[in-house]
Amino acid sequence: MLRRLLVASLLFGLAGCAPEGFVASEADLATYAGWTRFDRGDQPVGPEHPAGGSVVYVSRLPVHGATAFAEGTMIVRITAGASPDPTTWEVHAMAKRGGDYNAAGARGWEFFDLELEPSADGSYRPHIEWRGESPPEGNGYEAPDGGGVELSCNHCHGAAVQNDSVLGPELDLTTF
Ligand code: HEC
């Protein structure tokens, strides 16, 4: 059954007509270094994402007057933290699949946890640790007040309805 589902989703992906819209591949995400880049410097943003130098990359900027990000838009957020070793950095992404995907949360968006892995040419390429509407169990965010409560990505992003579930000030839709 699982196998059949995998084959079906692969075929849909190849045909470019997946019912869930745009399905980002690792190859798509690997182009992030060439996207529009916002370097926010050191930012103590906890308890959301860990403190440290954070950088956001966007594959496609919204057009003037848009009330949502276009389907196919990918956003990668990196916190370099204290270590110069990219394999230790926190790398998250979201990609706009569109339609009814994640309808109960950050509508239209798929979330990713990425690891940067060294490749033969000396660059670091993102590997998808997990993807989906929310993190698999054990991969969510610990609530700041503890208690072992895990926050899904949707907890914060899904609440930002007025800005299409995107929270950073540099991607405020009213500023484009
Ligand atoms: C506790 C609230 C909270 C949770 C939970 C959360 N985020 Fe965020 N996220 C934010 C805030 C606030 C920003 C904007 C400021 C920043 O980037 O530090 C942000 C920014 C981002 C960005 C850059 C685009 C944007 O919205 O500005 C991505 C990508 C992202 N988060 C992915 C994720 C993923 C994936 C998860 C789940 C594993 C997640 N976030 C969980 C609060 C949260």
**Domain residue limits, the chain:** 24-175
Separation of 98 CA from ligand 1 center, angstroms?
A: 19
For residues 170 and 173, what is the distance between their CA atoms, to the nearest angstrom? Answer: 9
Residue nearest to atom 5 of ligand 1 (CA): 153
Tens digit of each residue's pLDDT, the chain (176 residues): 445 555 445 444 444 444 579 999 999 999 999 999 999 877 655 545 665 678 999 999 999 999 999 999 999 999 887 778 999 999 999 999 999 999 999 999 999 999 999 999 989 999 999 999 998 877 666 555 555 566 789 999 999 999 999 999 999 999 99
Separation of 48 CA from ligand 1 center, angstroms?
A: 7
Say what the pLDDT of residue 58 is.
Answer: 98
165 close to 156: Cβ distance less than 8 angstroms: no
Say what the pLDDT of residue 42 is.
Answer: 72
For residues 64 and 175, what is the distance between their CA atoms, to the nearest angstrom? Answer: 8
12 beta partners: none
Separation of 145 CA from ligand 1 center, angstroms?
A: 18
Q: Is the bond preceding residue 47 a cis peptide, omega within 30 degrees?
A: yes
Edge-to-edge, what's the strand order for the sheet holding 90-96? 36-43, 52-58, 74-79, 90-96, 109-118, 124-132
Out of 153, 154, 162, 165, give the residue to mutate to test ligand 1, the one with the largest number of ligand atoms within 8 Å of its CB. Answer: 153
Q: What is the pLDDT of residues 101-143, one digit of tens each?
A: 999 999 999 999 999 999 999 899 999 999 999 988 776 665 5
H/E stretch holding 155? helix 153-157
H/E stretch holding 111? strand 109-118
Residue nearest to atom 42 of ligand 1 (CA): 48
